[in-house]
Amino acid sequence: MRNDFVKQTLLEMERNKNIIFLTGDLGYNALEPIQKTFPERFINVGIAEGNMLGLAAGLALSGKKVIAYSIASFLTMRPYEQIRSDICYDNLDVKLFGPGGGFNYPTHGHTHHTIEDVAIMNVLPNMKVVCPAYSWEAREATRTLIRHSGPTYMRLSKSPGVNYEKAGWKFELGKSYHIRNGKDVVLISTGNILDVVMATANLIEKKSGKKVGVISMPSLKPIDDKLIKHLAKTCSLICTLEEHSIIGGLGSIVSNILSQSQCASRLKVFGIPDRFIKDVGSRDYLLAKIGLEPKTLSAKIIRLLN
Amino acid sequence: MAQNKKLQGLATQVREHIIEMSYGSKSAEIGSSLCIADILITLYFAILDIDPKQPERPDRDHFVLSKGHGAAAMYATMALRGYFPETELKRYRVDGGRFHCHPCRSASRGIEVSTGSLGHGLPIAIGMALTMKSEWPNKKVFVLVGDGECNEGSIWEAAMFASSHKLSNVVVIIDDNKFQGFGATDKVHPVDLSAIWTAFGWNVLEVDGHDIVLLEKVLLKAKRRRDRPTVVIAHTISGKGIPHIENTLGAHYYTPDEITYLASQHA
């Protein structure tokens, strides 16, 4: 997914000479093509995220479009006040791209587990929040966000092996994508946990015979509230799944919409429980530890369906 | 002389462990662990007043690994010092393991601070020093900071505070390995660390970070200072011990192959 971001960014920087790229000393073995192609517009700010986002605000105020890059946890949490007060308050044209969303740096420990980013970015006025699931979404979202005017945040993770795009799809902010249809239960997911969600859907169908729909929602702010309201009237069970805290992410956003709608659906939120995950292991290991894996998820959802 | 040879032998063992841990877990972040083995062995075996049997004894020296990405070296050093069996090092970055690649307090008694995001360890250490100044005035807090980590503003906020409050019980060691995440440190910010720390009111010493005799001498000197905080700039070699990655940016991201692993175990 990071390579999709880099490839699309190269195209955008070629197209728009006004783009400045800042990195907080990260991107080894990934950002070199941008550095080599646009050395005058690529700046390694150093390990100084607060300064990087302050600089980004200043560059944007003086007419530049700015891309700021660092590991997602450092990018969103360390300079949070700069993002809120310097960038979002004045709706400045700064784009945040953070690799390592969720448990994508699994054995790096708590400082690299990015499980609150959607919550803290979503709460900021003017901010747009996108979590692509796989290669197509990442590439298309990169283009859309860079061409958008105003602050944006995109969480980058590792793509699942499968690409799910269909002919004619076009990425838009606030749009969702039906990966598969099914009305007994609809699973809504955001980000690269989509592969777990697809495997879960297969298991539910196999074990219960129920028809399972899967929707990918890479755009969390704005979100496809029209579709969520429609599902609330037509589907008896909606499940949200995300590699993010159960507080403040996709589940909370959907819950908020449903609470203010005519709703015939039940909602079940699956995500990372409200505690720090101190276990050591791979992403799959950590997801299994907290029950975000197909066998556990499918069993829980089948129980809800019955 | 015998003591020096013993410490050098222990530092070599730390490097062997680091390579084995990295090879076993197929994980990187090795270069910045290899380069601090001599510093950590000198601290844990010759400088710090600590007791692995009573890790929380209040009248102890504290050590904080602010550059958390060097944790593999700290785990290996702590194992050799007796905090936990060396066999536990096999549980580094594997499923069901014990150790992340950055320190977590809950992984072992004796790990003073959970770190991993740069620029956090020093302010925390200075907070500890503030308490210790009144409660255990003869004890010190040693903090290992990366040269790249000195990019972070929080380092300088803490440095200013420590000198303003005359916290002579703080000793910062800078692992000056000349590299950071995306370039050579003197290319990202070509600054004179010695001059800056001096300007911030610190006593500044410099040492070869791989010469255990000199390290012990300089760290003891730093430990004796009573007027203001001291920083020891330790010149090190990123990837120390694996010749083909020494002094390279890629050392940080290197995972040992089988040939390197086998060579290290028969060194």
A166 touching chain B per CB within 8 A: no
Q: Determine which of B30, B150, B151, B238 to mutate to test the interface with A (most A C-beta atoms within 10 Å).
A: B151
Please check the confidence at residue A181 and state whether its pLDDT lies above 80: yes
pLDDT at B223: 96
Q: ipTM of the predicted structure?
A: 0.92
**Which residues, other chains included, contact A130 with Cβ-Cβ below 8 Å and sequence gap of 6+?**
A141, A145, A152, A153, A154, A155, A173, A218, A219, A220
Nearest chain B CA: its distance from A78 CA (Å): 9
Secondary-structure breakdown of chain A: helix, strand, coil percentages, each rounded to the nearest 5? 40, 20, 35
- B contacts of A51 (beta carbons < 8 Å): 153
Nearest C-alpha in A relative to B150: A47
If you average pLDDT over residues A96-112, what whole number do you get?
A: 96
Domains in chain A (CATH in brackets) are 2-156 (3.40.50.970), 177-305 (3.40.50.920)
Q: Determine which of A45, A75, A280 to mutate to test the interface with B (most B C-beta atoms within 10 Å).
A: A280
- B contacts of A69 (beta carbons < 8 Å): none
pLDDT at A162: 86
Map residue A148 onto helix, strand or coil. coil
Question: Are A28 and B97 in contact (CB < 8 Å)?
Answer: no
Question: Are B182 and A48 in contact (CB < 8 Å)?
Answer: no
pLDDT tens for A119-134 read 999 999 999 999 999 9
How many percent of chain B have pLDDT more than 90? 94
Question: Are A110 and B104 in contact (CB < 8 Å)?
Answer: yes
pLDDT at A163: 87
CB A294 within 8 A of CB A203: yes
Residue-averaged pLDDT of chain A:
96
If you average pLDDT over residues B130-145, what whole number do you get?
A: 96
- A contacts of B119 (beta carbons < 8 Å): 47
Angle at B127 between CA B52 and CA B156, to 5 degrees: 115
pLDDT at B29: 84
Nearest C-alpha in A relative to B249: A28
Nearest chain B CA: its distance from A91 CA (Å): 25
- A contacts of B102 (beta carbons < 8 Å): 108-112
pLDDT at B266: 63
Please check the confidence at residue B1 and state whether its pLDDT lies above 90: no
Task: Select the residue of B25, B91, B188 nearest A25 (Cβ to Cβ).
Answer: B188
pLDDT at B101: 95
> Could you tell me the pTM of the whole model?
0.95
Residue B162 domain boundaries: 2-265
Question: Are B181 and A285 in contact (CB < 8 Å)?
Answer: no
pLDDT at B32: 93
- A contacts of B27 (beta carbons < 8 Å): 107
pLDDT tens for A264-306 read 789 999 999 999 999 999 999 999 999 999 999 999 999 999 8
If you average pLDDT over residues B209-222, what whole number do you get?
A: 98
If you average pLDDT over residues A144-166, what whole number do you get?
A: 93
- Total of domains in chain B: 1
Of B217, B252, B260, B211, nearest to B34 by C-alpha is B252
Nearest chain A CA: its distance from B137 CA (Å): 32
Nearest chain B CA: its distance from A38 CA (Å): 16
Please check the confidence at residue B153 and state whether its pLDDT lies above 90: yes
Question: Are A278 and B106 in contact (CB < 8 Å)?
Answer: yes
Nearest chain B CA: its distance from A46 CA (Å): 6
pLDDT tens for B87-119 read 999 999 999 999 999 999 999 999 999 999 999
End-to-end CA distance of chain B, in Å?
Answer: 22
Task: Select the residue of B96, B104, B149 nearest A109 (Cβ to Cβ).
Answer: B104
- B contacts of A111 (beta carbons < 8 Å): 68, 102, 114-117
Task: Select the residue of A44, A111, A280 nearest B182 (Cβ to Cβ).
Answer: A44
- A contacts of B118 (beta carbons < 8 Å): 47
- B contacts of A48 (beta carbons < 8 Å): 151-153
A112 touching chain B per CB within 8 A: yes
- A contacts of B25 (beta carbons < 8 Å): 107
Nearest chain B CA: its distance from A90 CA (Å): 24
If you average pLDDT over residues A93-109, what whole number do you get?
A: 96
- A contacts of B180 (beta carbons < 8 Å): 25, 46-47
pLDDT tens for A223-240 read 999 999 999 999 999 999
- B contacts of A50 (beta carbons < 8 Å): 153
pLDDT tens for B224-255 read 999 999 999 999 999 999 999 999 999 999 99
Task: Select the residue of A48, A73, A280 nearest B99 (Cβ to Cβ).
Answer: A280
Taking a contact as any Cβ pair under 8 Å apart, which residues of chain A between 47 and 66 contact chain B? 47-48, 50-51
Rounded CA separation B37/B242 (Å): 13
Rounded CA separation B73/B34 (Å): 7
CB B234 within 8 A of CB B209: yes
Nearest chain A CA: its distance from B185 CA (Å): 9
A81 touching chain B per CB within 8 A: no
Rounded CA separation A148/A95 (Å): 9
pLDDT at B259: 87
pLDDT tens for B164-209 read 999 999 999 999 999 999 999 999 999 999 999 999 999 999 999 9
Rounded CA separation A289/A163 (Å): 26
Map residue B232 onto helix, strand or coil. strand
Question: Are B151 and A47 in contact (CB < 8 Å)?
Answer: yes
Rounded CA separation A137/A155 (Å): 11
pLDDT tens for B247-259 read 999 999 999 998 8
What band does A42 get if pLDDT is binned at 50, 70 and 90? very high
Beta-strand ranges (E) seen in chain B are 62-65, 141-146, 170-176, 179-180, 183-184, 203-208, 230-235
Question: Are A107 and B25 in contact (CB < 8 Å)?
Answer: yes
Question: Which residues are paired to A241 by β-bridges?
Answer: A189, A270
pLDDT tens for A190-213 read 999 999 999 999 999 999 999 999
Question: Are B151 and A78 in contact (CB < 8 Å)?
Answer: no
How many percent of chain A have pLDDT more than 70? 100
Quick one: how far is CA A195 from the chain centroid?
A: 14
pLDDT at B203: 98
Residue B147's domain is classified under what CATH number? 3.40.50.970
pLDDT at B267: 59
A31 touching chain B per CB within 8 A: yes
Rounded CA separation A259/A229 (Å): 10
